[in-house]
Structure 1
Amino acid sequence: MTGTSGSAADPESRLSPARRLLVIHNPTAGRRQRRHLAAVLSELQKEGAEVRLWETASAGDAERAARECGSDIDVVVVAGGDGTINEAINGLMAREPSQPPALGIIPTGTTNVLSRDLRIPRQADALAPLLARGMMRDIHVGCANGRYFTLMCGVGMDAHIVSRTSLRLKKKIGKLAYVMQGLREFVAGVPRRYRVEIDGAEVVEASSVIVAKSRLYGGEFQLAPRADIGKPELQVCLFLRGGRLSTLLYIIGMGLGHLDHLPGYRTVAAKAVRITGHDGDPVQLDGDPSGCLPLEIGLGKRRLSVVAP
């Protein structure tokens, strides 16, 4: 077992035995992602970590792997994007609460918002020591209609974009596929209004709603600067005004980092949120389609351990 310099782990943690890891990955991922995974696995071997690989073949495989892996696994590591990570989180949260495995991340997907929020290093020589012996922290997850999330849950324009974006096009051009579908939604300009009940008290109407656990959105933008994944709290992002002009102002404000200064936008801290209106409208969860309205959102009953600096 060899030590490393410049490790993400603290000196005391390097003295502890290396962890037993289950690494969930997609064998058909692109060449660049496969190379990155191979580099991390090579560094994990140097760290003395015990690594088992689980290949995904279809949607739901990552959730099943996280839910069914044995008690001899210390960390379930996801090599993928936020959608695959969300699957694994739902699998981990479905386990019995007594000492479930922690979550680890090898960022390789189209977007890796959670890894950015947690400040997980991408470089193999920094990431491997973190996964093998590094620090752990607890985070609070959200729960929407029985499904867990760590980033956000949304209805309105962004949910329609997510639900209608071609998966084939997404694989070819990545984030640009969302931009193209967003332009279609903008041109269509379909008016929508939603009723948002916050903590059983305040009731607000909005054209779009995003309930955030993470401060980041889309990897680079901040919708909810006060959101903290480590706190048992939701941030309700309310786009109060509809129409093309307001939507354009929201997009510009988000791009410039001044969204919270716009008069038609506000955020509210909450523990529980109910969203109704346009029943059957799509819902997005951590950037993937996830059911439809009406929507009940709250906090997970327990915290989730993650490997993060």
Structure 2
Amino acid sequence: MRALLVVNPKATTTSERSRDILVRALRSEVDLTVEYTKRRGHAATLARDAARAGIDVVVTLGGDGTVNEAVNGLLTAEPGAKDPAGGADRRPALAVVPGGSTNVFARAIGLPRDWAEGTYVILQALRAGTTRTIGLGRADDRYFTFCAGYGLDAEVIRRVERARLRGKVSTPWLYMRSIGVQYFTETERKTQLLTLERSGEADVPSLASVVVQNTAPWTYVGDRAVNACPDASFDKNLDVMALKVLRVPSTARFFAQLASARPALTGKQVLTLHDVGSFTLRASRPLSFQLDGDYLGERGKVEFVAVPQALRVVC
């Protein structure tokens, strides 16, 4: 079995020594090539080239951003392929060693948070030849594994990324503080700018902020899962949660429900949709947008599609 290990050298929870241990462990099971990412987007190129070269497994060591890039490389490796749904067997499998600060995707597929424990699970699965086939989401021309955000969610991630560039460490406190500062000082809270459009359904206008989930949870705060769409699943289409307004009382109620770990969000200012195959979000002016925790700039419109049975995962 041939495998490629894609290493993000800036992975926050591993060291050079731990990377060496991982390489030796993987080489005990597979014919391994190791590549280090050098820039944003490099993991996608490495994964795409590996798929075209007939590699059997792509292993990532990094956070959710590295995973997302690798997935996009794998899903775009077939020139001219228009419908990746159901094509998991044509692609290399993906194995994810958790090396970032949150590792939402790795934890969502059942891997331990610790990189060493995660490596053990992956080695056991490689020996047994077991994989799980999952669905993905696509936003315009980019695939995502667990979530997308349009509006406040993406604005917070943009603020966190800027803080990390200034040397701040990614912690739950950094995210909590960023939410508060963003909400009270920069976010447009008085105007609802988004419209949700679905074929055969009436448009839903006047939405303030939207989260799209391909699985649950939406994210983690430390060891605690945070769920905006608790019924979202890799085995179904996409789930949507939209805040209709961002007034202080309703927004505070929303975060209180998230913190209480209720099975579902309630309230007249919250819209939830389950198992949706495709839809479009249109903004009256460009708004912040993120995929899998990576800020991607501002968009005026995003088209979402569920892509079932798209990827084999070693777990």
The TM-score bracket by the shorter chain reads 0.7 to 0.9
Alignment of 1:88-107 (within 5 A): 88-96=70-78, 99-107=90-98
CA shift in 2, pair 1:75/1:171, >3 Å: farther
Letter in 2 for 1:238: A
CA RMSD of aligned residues (A): 2.2
Q: Find the counterpart in structure 2 of residue 226 from structure 1.
A: 231
| Secondary structure, counterpart of 2:90 in structure 1 | coil
Q: Find the counterpart in structure 2 of residue 216 from structure 1.
A: 217
CA distance in 2, matches of 1:222, 1:141: 18
Determine if contact 1:215/1:222 at 8 Å carries over to the other structure.
Answer: yes
CA distance in 1, matches of 2:281, 2:238: 14
Q: Find the counterpart in structure 2 of residue 59 from structure 1.
A: 40
CA distance in 1, matches of 2:99, 2:241: 28
Q: 1:126 deviation in Å?
A: 3.0
| Secondary structure, counterpart of 2:40 in structure 1 | coil
Tell me, which stretches of 5 or more residues in structure 1 are unaligned?
A: 1-18
Determine if contact 2:152/2:288 at 8 Å carries over to the other structure.
Answer: no
Could you tell which deviates more after superposition, 173-182 or 246-255?
A: 173-182
1:290 aligns with 2:291: no
CA distance in 2, matches of 1:148, 1:170: 29
Deviation per CA, 1:52-90, whole angstroms, max 9, x where unpaired?
Answer: 111011101100000112534111111011111000111
1:75 aligns with 2:57: yes
Could you tell which deviates more after superposition, 36-45 or 88-97?
A: 36-45
Determine if contact 2:101/2:170 at 8 Å carries over to the other structure.
Answer: no
1:44 aligns with 2:43: no
Q: 1:164 deviation in Å?
A: 2.8
Letter in 2 for 1:37: R
Deviation >6 Å, runs of 4+: none
Determine if contact 2:13/2:99 at 8 Å carries over to the other structure.
Answer: no
CA distance in 2, matches of 1:247, 1:169: 29
CA distance in 2, matches of 1:301, 1:138: 9
Deviation per CA, 1:186-214, whole angstroms, max 9, x where unpaired?
Answer: 21252241111134413223211111101
1:261 aligns with 2:266: yes
Deviation per CA, 1:165-204, whole angstroms, max 9, x where unpaired?
Answer: 3132575244433322211122125224111113441322
1:129 aligns with 2:124: yes
CA distance in 1, matches of 2:271, 2:17: 43
With structure 1 as the length reference, what TM-score do the two structures score? 0.85
| Secondary structure, counterpart of 2:229 in structure 1 | coil
CA distance in 1, matches of 2:180, 2:128: 45
CA shift in 2, pair 1:28/1:290, >3 Å: closer
Q: 1:34 deviation in Å?
A: 4.0
Q: 1:50 deviation in Å?
A: 1.6
Q: Find the counterpart in structure 1 of residue 198 from structure 2.
A: 198
Q: Find the counterpart in structure 1 of residue 178 from structure 2.
A: 181
Determine if contact 1:240/1:265 at 8 Å carries over to the other structure.
Answer: yes
CA distance in 1, matches of 2:154, 2:74: 25
1:277 aligns with 2:283: yes
CA distance in 2, matches of 1:201, 1:34: 53
Equivalent in 288, 300, 309 of residue 307 of structure 2? 300
Q: 1:265 deviation in Å?
A: 2.0
Could you tell which deviates more after superposition, 74-83 or 189-198?
A: 189-198
CA shift in 2, pair 1:196/1:28, >3 Å: closer
Could you tell which deviates more after superposition, 247-256 or 164-173?
A: 164-173
| Secondary structure, counterpart of 2:257 in structure 1 | helix
Determine if contact 2:138/2:306 at 8 Å carries over to the other structure.
Answer: yes
Could you tell which deviates more after superposition, 138-147 or 66-75?
A: 66-75
| Secondary structure, counterpart of 1:66 in structure 2 | helix
1:108 aligns with 2:99: yes
CA shift in 2, pair 1:176/1:50, >3 Å: farther
Letter in 2 for 1:213: N
CA distance in 2, matches of 1:171, 1:61: 24
| Secondary structure, counterpart of 2:97 in structure 1 | strand
